[in-house]
Structure 1
Amino acid sequence: MTGFWIVIGLCVVALVAYVILSLRKLSVPTTGAVIDGAMRPETALVVIDVQEDFTRNTGKRAFDPKKRDAALEAISEEIALSRKSGHQIAFVSNVFRDWPVILAMKLVGGGVGTPGREGLKLDRTLDVRGAPEFEKSIGDTFSNPDFEAWLAEKRVSRLILVGLDTCYCVQLTARGALARGYQVEIREPATLTGTPDKWPPLKAELGDAGVAFA
């Protein structure tokens, strides 16, 4: 019986370690090969996680409706401006795929962002108009290799980031971009965060790292 309980104990330890790693992975930016910006003159607007599970959430983690509507209007303006300027546009959607994260979101987050939900669709106000949409399951958009390949195909070296949450997926995508040598700008009026107290120190860190703000 002693051997049996040792095996059970090891399995429990392994399971706990996997859960911790899965949750930690959500908030760790990725790294990758540094691009040659001189060969990539284009700019892309990246609209991050503006999905109805988040923008239309009515639970205790819901955004203030006035702030949400103002941010959505600013995002739509950025989309229109990018089209007028001839910039590339990409939309990013978050769908949690690791079962520990799915379980956690169902237990404490009302299931938002988990597979099969109607709310995974992009917010009804967005004018997608055939622009590509990339799915990710962690904070940094660069975790999806198809996104990085698309940026290479379009010869993009400058990213304008909008969307949500500023303190999580937006800033993590910014860090992933910086690690690869991209120029990054965050358009603050076109972002949302559920933790505004965390943003000032994060903004200072990002500014020191080279992110521009407008």
Structure 2
Amino acid sequence: MTYGYIIGAAVLLFILWLGNGIRRIGSVSVGTKIGERGGSALLLIDLQLVFWDHGPYSDDAIQSAAAVILEEVEAARARNHPVIAVRQEWSIPSTKVLARLTMNGQAIEGSEGTELAELFSSCPEYIIVKRVQDAFETGELDALLERLNVGKLRLVGLDLNYCVQKTALAARNRGYDITVMKHGTLAAAPTEVAEKRMSSAGVVFL
């Protein structure tokens, strides 16, 4: 076995390892179908300092979305609906490497800025940490929603093309009624494809 062969094999294994990380980041989990549940909740997605204050979104878009998000929080509180925040922390080894290579190292577990932006820090009653775009991937959100008897979710946050979309699709796979408050979301790129995919899965946009 030559040295060049060993190097080539190592590079190939590294590429496959990173490819698996990419797959995990964008996958949508299936989960167990929920039964009849009467409760509703508001889900705040990735409203973190590193994304909110240092993301690729315009000031106008941020201000507009913030107003809607805070209105949704107040409405949820008035109806005694739980407010749940999910925060991104890249903690799987391959996804941490990908975050360093392609995401400027943002939101890596233990790094600065993974906390909620100050504007939203007092909003949630519960906070869940997610490892990939799909907030249901670890099972922690499943367990919390079951305990709270939640069958309907309203989603706000970012990014509509990624974490909002994948979380909405994972929720639909489990049988949740999902409403995305479009004006309470942010996106760095056009959203037509993501919206069509979600709508086809039964997600409602308001």
TM bin, normalised by shorter chain, reads: over 0.9
Measure, in 2, the Cα distance between the counterparts of 1:205 and 1:118.
33
In the other structure, the counterpart of 1:102 is 96
Confirm or deny that 1:154 pairs with 2:148: yes
Secondary structure at 1:46's aligned position in 2?
A: strand
- What's the CA shift for 1:202? 1.8
* TM-score normalised according to structure 2 size: 0.93
In the other structure, the counterpart of 2:32 is 33
Measure, in 2, the Cα distance between the counterparts of 1:76 and 1:126.
8
Mark the runs of 5 or more structure 1 residues left unpaired by the alignment: none
- What's the CA shift for 1:109? 2.6
Distance 1:118 1:5, change over 3 A: closer
For the 8 Å contact 1:76–1:127, the answer to whether it is kept is: no
What RMSD in Å do the two structures reach over aligned CA positions? 1.7
Secondary structure at 1:118's aligned position in 2?
A: coil
Query: 2:159 corresponds to which letter in structure 1?
Result: D
Structure ranking higher in helix proportion: 1
Secondary structure at 1:125's aligned position in 2?
A: helix
1:49 corresponds, among 35, 46, 55, to: 46
Measure, in 2, the Cα distance between the counterparts of 1:20 and 1:13.
10
Residue correspondences, number:
206
In the other structure, the counterpart of 2:132 is 138
Mark the runs of 5 or more structure 2 residues left unpaired by the alignment: none
- What's the CA shift for 1:106? 2.6
Confirm or deny that 1:71 pairs with 2:70: no
For the 8 Å contact 2:40–2:152, the answer to whether it is kept is: yes
In the other structure, the counterpart of 2:197 is 205
- What's the CA shift for 1:148? 0.5
Aligned residues with identical type, % of pairs: 27
Deviations 1:163-182 (A, max 9, x none): 00000000100100111111
In the other structure, the counterpart of 1:125 is 119
Query: 2:48 corresponds to which letter in structure 1?
Result: Q
